[in-house]
Amino acid sequence: MALIEEFDKSGNWLFRWRSFLPLALYAMAVAVILLTETTDVPHDSFNWSMICLGISLFGQLIRAITVGFTPKSTSGRNTKAGQVAEVLNTKGIYSTVRHPLYVGNFFMWIGIVIYVGSWWFSAFTVLLFWLYYERIMFAEEFFLRKKFGHTYLNWAEKTPAFIPKLSKWSNASMSFSIKNVLKREYNGFFAVFISFLLLNVLKNYLLYKTLSLEFLVNPWWIWLTLGSFVIFITLRTLKKKTSLLKVEGRW
């Protein structure tokens, strides 16, 4: 098999199993904490915790901007049946970068990884993320190039793959839909907070060697995670039991 077909095949395979990448990162993060038992930042630093959380939420914001303006049947929708796209999306955030959702994913995960406190692990994660998603991006672009031809090539030539060029911004063809964001992003939003909470519990346990709740978890992570859980349950219920979050012409 030629390399171009091999890259396309492996990229589609990696996309289908992309949900397991976070699990691998969790396992590695736990291993790093257990093996070192020390970090380069204070365990109970509120400021450091909020910086890391802010990085992750910045990634969530990028995803929200992308999803909020994205119409149905647009480019970059990869499913179990294969790539799906009836329209090439080149407006809004897609006028500044070709893979904005993956840019958002990067910031969401790097905030959590930095919180572990190991700088070499953070650098390793950046490399892993790039190698993993490079194949996925290749597979998506291989499909789009075949489907849209010169239209895609003209867009790709002036639009960066991963580092946004904000000066190229062109207004989206559709209005922003907060309902679409709430319907599609509540899982990732809650995952961010529960990830920080669990890592905080592990780090504090290794530091204080006790299961006492007073030392096991910092209070701000409890309240933030409880708040995100309430939002998660509310939005999940609205999505599953009602039509309040349905928007015509959106995924």
State the pLDDT at residue 83: 55
Confidence of residue 86 (pLDDT cuts 50, 70, 90): low
State the pLDDT at residue 4: 63
Structure tokens at 64: 């929200």
Confidence of residue 34 (pLDDT cuts 50, 70, 90): confident
CA–CA distance, 247 with 251 (Å, rounded to integer): 8
179-199: average pLDDT: 94
State the pLDDT at residue 113: 93
Structure tokens at 81: 């049946």
Q: What percent of the chain has pLDDT over 90?
A: 43
pTM of the full predicted structure?
0.87
Q: What percent of the chain has pLDDT over 70?
A: 82
Span 148-164, pLDDT tens digits: 889 889 999 999 989 99
Long-range contacts of 27-32 (CB under 8 A, 24+ apart): 28/121, 29/112, 29/113, 29/116, 29/121, 29/199, 30/202, 32/116, 32/118, 32/121
Confidence of residue 107 (pLDDT cuts 50, 70, 90): very high
What is the dihedral sign for C-alpha 128, 129, 130, 133? positive
More confident residue, 233 or 39: 233
CB 141 within 8 A of CB 98: yes
State the pLDDT at residue 185: 95
